[in-house]
Structure 1
């Protein structure tokens, strides 16, 4: 059999063959990402989530099948609950989206349908509000980065600072809307979903700076986001350092008292 993805049939068919061959006893298998959305190219990987029986190993693995890369997410029910919790804490909702938007390759006893419903419910609820201290720290960080953006005349430094401005402003905007965040190529996609006006202006400003070196459009867009979340923060900002021991909860398992 050829190892060239161009010589293979549809990614969905490849994903079904992979799941049937490698996980015949699984409870369900779901194809997510571009393969499920019909946007896969010859070089796109297959994002596949597999639910296995309790007692198995929850893991992530990258491998190749019929010439195409497979990003594999294997988990028990308990393991998936932990992954859902971790993705909520990170505000990314990665596994939730895989199950909510993915294509079921196979399932036993409605396992995938139940997880799809659970994932859709989690996505509707959103990640919740961030701690006010975290928001304040990010306001300060964005204020500082905007000052640096205005002060530097070095082209490379300006690009580096622009990345900080984009990421920090995006985090603040996501939290303002209680929206799911994204990284890499998903950052602009999630920004436009969360707030087409402010997110779009931020992305346009970042692109303009990268193309021409002109920072003002990016600075203006980020400054508008700062206004939404309380405004710039410089003097008056203070934090007290707590050691790792001080941050540990009292009454840990195994301790008296």
Structure 2
């Protein structure tokens, strides 16, 4: 596939030009993130997931063959753009995707399944189907694992209600916001996200939690914010005050 003429306003062209220069052997190239969803802003970077033969990677041993586990994540700057690169062999992708699933934040599988393919290799369909099937299963936490998270949220709510200085309260609020958001996602059998992706995943999985967390974030009073958090926790299974084995 030939690379289109460079157009700084078109992240797809920038991505392909970059891959042709830095990863000329790449067989699959996927544009992800805000560049693929129409949410791109002036400060957005360009996210690229690519699959390439093992020989593409500097530390590769030719004896390992093309399905060896190689990969790298790096940040590059080209044509006035910051580019976040996720480059893997086929087996490297599977290995790192497995780690993503284990962390409950499957960044790579979402990049592959939700991104825009700019170049499609023979491995693309199989990897995308494998990733989509794993994503569709959800994180599937046990009742005990969810209980542990509810216990942590219970503790944070009590700490916030008792907080007496602004710095301590701010630290607790940040931890409580994330813990509640993650609990809401996992209760809905949805994968986790961080930063803006926490908000986006919540909007898709539990809009009611989004409304309550928005109220929590906007409430200046610690006691009142703790009460909002308690109401959300009640909907997600309730407080955990009894004995608990970790």
TM-score bin, normalised by smaller chain: 0.7 to 0.9
Partner residue in 1 for 2:99: 86
For structure 1, list consecutive stretches of 5 or more residues without a partner in the other structure.
Answer: 1-6, 240-257
How many residue pairs get aligned? The number is: 227
* Number of the residue aligned with 2:147: 136
Are positions 1:201 and 2:212 aligned together? yes
1:56 is displaced (CA, Å) by 6.5
3-state SS in 2 of match to 1:69: strand
Deviating above 3 A after TM superposition, structure 1's stretches of 4 or more consecutive aligned residues are 215-218
| SS of structure 1 residue aligned to 2:157 | helix
Shift of 1:227: 2.4
CA distance in 2, matches of 1:33, 1:131: 30
Structure 1 pair 235–121 and aligned structure 2 pair: CA distance change class (3 A): closer
Q: Residue in 2 aligned with 1:3? A: none
Report if aligned partners of 1:176, 1:228 keep a CA contact under 8 Å in 2.
no
**TM-score by structure 2 length?**
0.83
Match of 1:97 in 2: 110
Partner of 2:180 in structure 1?
A: 169
Residue number in structure 2 paired with 1:46? 46
What TM-score do the two structures reach when normalised by structure 1?
A: 0.80
Deviations 1:32-69 (A, max 9, x none): 01111233233321111111122473111111111211
SS of alignment partner, residue 117 of structure 2: strand
Contact 2:156 2:176 in 1 (8 A): yes
Q: Is the partner of 2:83 in helix, strand or coil?
A: strand
Deviation at 1:238, TM superposition (A): 4.2
C-alpha separation in 2, matches of 1:217 and 1:190? 26
Separation in 1 of the partners of 2:35 and 2:150? 38
The change in CA–CA distance for 1:106 and 1:172 in structure 2 (over 3 A counts) is: same
Give secondary structure in 2 for the equivalent of 1:174: helix
SS at match of 1:50: strand
Contact 1:202 1:218 in 2 (8 A): no
| Cα pair 2:146 2:187 within 8 Å, conserved | no
Which of 80, 102, 114 is the equivalent residue of 2:126? 114
Contact 2:36 2:115 in 1 (8 A): yes
Cα deviation code 1:143-170 (max 9, x no counterpart): 1111111112322221111112112212
SS in 2 for 1:200: helix
Match in the other structure for 1:185? 196
| Alpha-carbon separation, structure 2, partners of 1:178 and 1:192 | 14
Unpaired runs of at least 5, structure 2? 1-6, 54-66
CA positional deviation for 1:216: 4.8
Question: Partners of 1:238 and 1:26 in 2: how far apart?
Answer: 49
**Alpha-carbon distance change, 42 to 89 in structure 1, aligned in 2, over 3 angstroms:** same
The change in CA–CA distance for 1:238 and 1:39 in structure 2 (over 3 A counts) is: closer
* RMSD (CA atoms): 2.0
